[in-house]
Amino acid sequence: MSIQKIILLIILFVLSISTCRSNNLEEFGHDFQAYPSYLESFIEGNNIQDEIIHYFNNIKMVENKVKLIDVSSFGAKGDGNTDDTKAFEQAWQDACSSNTPVNFVVQQNKNYLLKNVHFLGPCKSFISMQIFGTLEASDNMSDYNNDRRHWILFENVENLVVGGGGTINGNGNIWWQNSCKINKNLPCKDTPTALTFYNCNKLKVKNLKIKNAQQIHVSFETCTNVEASNLMINSPENSPNTDGIHVANTHNIQISSATIGTGDDCISITSGSQKVHATDITCGPGHGISIGSLGSGNSEAHVSDINVYGAKFYGTTNGLRIKTWQGGSGSASNIKFQHIDMEGVENPIIIDQNYCDQNDPCKDQNSAVKVKNVVYQNIKGTSATDVAIKFDCSKNFPCEGITMENVNLVGENGTSKAICKNVQFNYTQHVSPYCPAEESFQDWLLNYINS
């Protein structure tokens, strides 16, 4: 084995032992002690930053093959008042041009004020960015005139790890106040996503606290081979469009051990995404886990091979949701929701092929994104409304191949019901509430011909 491969293995081992410390949890406004399965992944150890730097320094002393880059060496103050954007950009240029692996360090107990910052690749070697301190967004909206869609952007980077247990603070309050969803008299304008990964491959994002995003907290766009784990994401329940994790046109992504409470979807999965696996997810408050919306503006959309395994929902407006616009085309297929617990969820299970998120009513249209081969298995809990299951599917493109097994959702008054329209079941067993008329494909076909 070459010395370079050995060093890379050592780097990966060191990164694997770095976990987010459990202090400062109170700043998120949730009692995260309610979720011990997540918090147990945070170690109570000593100074993790010093530990990792110690390992990297030892490697460097032995083979001089790992480059340590500290943003403080490039003039970053971390005092919460000085603009540290240029220091971060210069440090990244040095890291990206290195022919040897890089450990990019953001020191703990410091608060780095940043405007838009763009970490552009491709880079020459492996980079591990360890954020031990806090990155805080400028709250001056004019600082984003050159790019109102991104705050921190990683683009075209391969073999990247971003972690360290620190905090990314989008400082989003000023953006929420000026949102057209809060003030209907204001025009709708672009708002930055806090942390965006665009066209990245072989990416790991782990052990981070991300809060108060201007809009979306973390977005993976056109990425491949992604691992996102041990993320704590939080913003107020009334903050507009603050999705926790957004997945768009991304293939082979594993999301695990995430605790998310926001003003929008905890996880949203949109067109072009394939092989998305989400496990050990805690969601609430928020709008649940959503596939979509798909097909807006009569567009073609495709999503497939989605697996949500092991999730808990607390007081969310939705649980497991698939939402498509009328007039679209394409498909959402091969989707599994398994081992799900819900408590006080308003719409625990919902497929909405008549989704309409606009001020004017949406017109009836004939085409739709096809929803097929969806499995709901081992799902239990309470619904905050009488309707625990709602399948509002298209007449022309009904939901097909729906499987439900061991589903038990009870309303807060002890009863609940299902509303099922234009849905064809492949298999059902031990389902409560059940659809009044679970029609087979043959029944639907006869009804459609005779209608």
Q: For 38-74, write each residue's pLDDT tens digit.
A: 223 333 333 545 554 554 444 443 345 899 999 999 9
Task: Give the pLDDT confidence of 369-419 residue by residue, as tens digits.
Answer: 999 999 999 999 999 999 999 999 999 999 999 999 999 999 988 899 999
Per-residue model confidence (pLDDT) at position 451: 58
Classified as helix, coil or strand, 307 is strand
Inform me whether the pLDDT recorded for 15 exceeds 70. Answer: no
Per-residue model confidence (pLDDT) at position 44: 33
CA distances (Å), 360 to each of 185, 264, 274, 357, 363, in order?
15, 21, 32, 9, 9
Task: Give the pLDDT confidence of 236-295 residue by residue, as tens digits.
Answer: 999 999 999 999 999 999 999 999 999 999 999 999 999 999 999 999 999 999 999 999
Q: b vs e for 237-254, b when ≥16 Cβ sit within 10 Å of the residue's Cβ?
A: bebbbbbbbbbbbbbbbb
Question: 244, 215 in Cβ contact below 8 A?
Answer: no
Mean pLDDT throughout 342-371?
94
- List alpha helices for 28-143, DSSP H: 36-39, 48-63, 85-96
Inform me whether the pLDDT recorded for 92 exceeds 90. Answer: yes
Residues serving a catalytic function are 264, 287
**What mean pLDDT value characterizes the chain?**
88
Q: How confident is the model at residue 447 (pLDDT cuts 50, 70, 90)?
A: low
Q: How confident is the model at residue 360 (pLDDT cuts 50, 70, 90)?
A: confident
Mean pLDDT throughout 178-202?
95
Inform me whether the pLDDT recorded for 91 exceeds 80. Answer: yes
Share of the chain above pLDDT 90, in %: 79
Flag the least confident range among 31-35, 169-173, 190-194, 215-219: 31-35
